[in-house]
Chains A and B, each alone.
Chain A
Amino acid sequence: MPRPGFVLDVDRSTPPMLFHHGESLRLEKLPVGRSRVLYPGEPLDPLDDPEGAIRHALANPLGDCQPLRALLRPGMKLTIAFDDISLPLPPMRRPDVRQRVIEAVLDLAAEAGVDDVHLIAALALHRRMTEAELRHAVGDRVYDAFAPHGLLYNHDAEDPDNLALLGSTPHGEEVEINKRAAESDLLVYVNINIVSMDGGHKSTATGLASYRSLRHHHNVATMRQSTSFMDRHTSELHHSNWRMGKVIRDAGVKVFQIETTINNDTFGASGPMAVLQKREWEWTARDRASFVAMKAGLDHLPLKARRKIFHSWQAPYGITSVQAGEVEAVHESTTENIFRQQLVEVDGQTDILTMGLPYICPYNVNSVMNPILVMCLGLGYFFNMYRGRPLVREGGVLIMSHPTPWEFHPVHHPSYIDFFEQVLADTTDPAEIEARYEKQYAEDEWYRHLYRTSYAYHGVHPFYMWYWGCHGLAHAGKVIIVGGEPRAVRRLGFTAASTLQDALEMAGDVVGRGATITHLHNPPLVMADVT
């Protein structure tokens, strides 16, 4: 029976805590008496027969929806859209959930005699997936059957010939999505929900949308009102997507949503990384030996080699649930399953929130975690891992641990470089950045070219990263990056500290000497339900 997550009060005999630190690890002693640690739950037991569960979900849809078999008929246009490389993190071992679900869907389609099938990676403004990445996601069989005929491809949010404007919401938000998806008789969306932000109407309304449509919810005003964007009921981001979802439905696009959830088995129960998901006081001699060896190895390897090691890790995630059918009903059930794994009740806010940022975030799979992504992971994703109130009080201090090198992947993140060099050198205020620079970057022909033909994130993507963190930026009184490269950290508008102790000293100047500290022991993922 997996144990749920919990809050640990740090006392004299609490061992030092594990902090992820980019492609490295740190052990940090937290002050006794005023610190607590938020631990994730242990991995839930996976489904015994995921393929049977998938078939069962397809045959017994939730909400107002017929079984998939009944929706398939010869001569129809079927489009299967699936989540891109940003999910799950780190990538999971083969076979990927998407492969299992897509094969099950296609098998039903084959049985029904469906001929016209397209598969689309719903990547919105993310970089295109490479052949290897697509093969990993959908499996070789599906790839070899569809890709050579041009029937399996990446969504292109800048292809004027392949976008359909479906209308506007009452709030004036234009809904423009992939034309093939919009014109299909049935759109099957195959999703992986790693956090509660994913899925629901966001899948189609964001994943298959164009810049014109995305800008209505990917902006500072929306993100500041998404408190948090992990809780759909208090997230303006989701309200907007839900409004768009209604427009999509009213436009006659029939969506059959398949959502899957995975457990917390990020580093495996055994193997070299297993120690990273154990609680420190339960580390056996063997765990400690492997940690010491790993840390010593990592500390001596060059960054490139460390990055290679970490990025080659594939998580042995287990599937905890599959639900299919009508989008909203499906997503309700999905969210429950996510919360079952991730939600931990926390009593009250804290003055200082510490977090160790790992080597990966949704936008640097097989890539470089640049300073902008550090900001997005810390102030965007980790800060927003709450329901109710933020873990840290307003005006409190956020301490993140990450080396934050001034380094960018030249192919994947070209516009990030310019954003960092030109925009952030000028201002770090999200609203000002949005007003003064977004349009220029979004409409830059070169970025558009790289997004469409190379493997680059869209020109506007670094702005979205900054918006993602704007709620955290406005909420926190100070942000300190432990171990960060000072030049890069300064450019982000934050403060660099060389050790956690220094950072806590600095934080004391803002929130007082006896300030309370909470450490978010993440990953594996944990979400705080703050009362």
Chain B
Amino acid sequence: MAPLRSAVSRRLLRLPFPFSAPTVPGGVEAPPRRQRAGADYDTTWARRYPARLARAAIVETVARPAVAALARPERHGLDRLTLLAEAGGPVVFAANHHSHVDTPLLVTSIPDPWRHKLFVGAAADYFFRTPATSALSALALGAIPIERAKVGRRSADRAAALLSDGWSMLIFPEGGRSPDGWGQPFRGGAAYLAVRCGVPVVPVHIDGTGRILRKGRKLPKPATARVTFGPPLFPGPGDDSRRFGAVIERAVAALADEATTDWWSARRRAHAGESPALVGPDAPAWRRAWALGDPDRRRTRQRRRWPEL
């Protein structure tokens, strides 16, 4: 009975042609339909003023309180950006990636001249899987789809066009969240875009978001996160994207060292080429986990009481 009824109702409910989409006759090829999701999703609308306004509202009313509650972020190295801020212009922020918390954390941490003209390179196959997630990512995060499997000419062009248009970019060159707490090798996207558009790259290191919501976990747990901005890197005239990519990766590794030890030791190791690599030891999984240390360790900062003067 049921299939019959459904067939009947389908037939009865179906409106005639001008009131519904035409059917395609055999033997002709229909023109390609506008992508509603995936790598070709068009996010131009998300950079128009109504969407920017909505995004700013979402960042300030949802993301910021959520980040403050979950991550209690410490932000370091913002002073390194003052000159860049005075100069203005677009910047590529390249950060390591532990968690979904990273993007809201950075969107709320990146300082003023860039915060409101920022787009995020997001994995096309994850954030832009369905039309709904695509719209949400584009609106809330200002995301544009980036293909991580292959070098997407179109997504690269689109990002380059936005950079040239004065928009700054937040990108996670690792291409995805860390599976085990250690970093992954950086991919060339950030360096390529920086060299191509001649914009500086600000290396960013994020520590602690893996404890809040690591890959594979559903529910977040509050912990302290620390964001360290590094001194901006300018692509030199002779730099290609591969060499510059290595510079960026080294810079983030040095920041990681700085965040866990102190600036002076980190600089000495960086100059000696001894900054601990982000990717961790090349060893079996248990040793990698072991080398990561206690995942719940709280940063204990030496606090001294000074007289109220």
Contacts and interface: CB of A to CB of B under 8 A. Distances in A.
A131 B268 CA distance: 25
Interface string A144-168: 1110100000000000000000000
A144 B268 contact: no
B19 interface: no
Contacts of A131: 304, 306
A95 B79 contact: yes
Which 8 pairs from chain A and chain B are nearest by CB?
A: A145-B264, A141-B263, A145-B262, A110-B267, A111-B271, A110-B268, A95-B79, A145-B263
Nearest to B261: A145
A366 B258 contact: no
B271 A110 contact: yes
Nearest to A131: B306
B309 interface: yes
B170 to A, nearest CB: 23
Nearest to A51: B83
Contacts, number: 54
Interface of A: 49-51, 94-95, 99, 106-107, 110-111, 113, 115, 117, 130-132, 139-142, 144-146, 148, 366-367, 411-412, 455
A144 B76 CA distance: 12
A141 B258 contact: yes
25 contacts: A50-B83, A106-B264, A107-B271, A110-B270, A110-B271, A113-B271, A113-B272, A115-B268, A117-B264, A131-B304, A132-B306, A141-B258, A141-B262, A142-B264, A145-B262, A145-B263, A145-B264, A146-B264, A148-B262, A148-B302, A411-B307, A411-B309, A412-B309, A455-B307, A455-B309
A113 B270 CA distance: 11
Interface in B257-282: 258, 262-265, 267-268, 270-272
B271 A366 contact: no
A95 B302 CA distance: 23
Given A111-B271, A142-B263, A412-B309, 15 more contacts: A51-B83, A94-B79, A106-B264, A106-B267, A110-B271, A113-B272, A115-B268, A117-B264, A130-B309, A131-B306, A145-B262, A145-B263, A145-B264, A145-B265, A148-B302
Interface of B: 76-77, 79, 82-83, 258, 262-265, 267-268, 270-272, 302, 304, 306-307, 309
A113 B267 CA distance: 10
Contacts of A139: 79
Contacts of A49: 83
Contacts of A142: 263-264
A286 B133 CA distance: 49
A148 B262 CA distance: 10
B268 A113 contact: yes
A142 B258 CA distance: 11
Contacts of B262: 141, 144-145, 148
Contacts of B263: 141-142, 144-145
Nearest to B264: A145
A412 B268 CA distance: 38
Nearest to A139: B79
A453 to B, nearest CB: 11
A229 B263 CA distance: 40
A107 B267 contact: yes
Contact of A130 (B83, B265, B268, B306): B306
Nearest to A367: B309
A95 B231 CA distance: 13
Nearest to A96: B79
A411 B304 CA distance: 19
Contacts of A412: 309
A308 to B, nearest CB: 12
A389 B42 CA distance: 73
A262 to B, nearest CB: 15
Contacts of B79: 94-95, 99, 139
Nearest to A49: B83
B66 to A, nearest CB: 26
B85 to A, nearest CB: 12
Contacts of A113: 268, 271-272
B135 to A, nearest CB: 40
Nearest to B87: A48
Nearest to A103: B263
Nearest to A95: B79
A51 B268 CA distance: 19
Contact of B264 (A51, A110, A132, A140): A110
A76 to B, nearest CB: 14
Contacts of A110: 264, 267-268, 270-271
Contact of A95 (B82, B267, B304): B82
Nearest to B272: A113
A359 B36 CA distance: 64
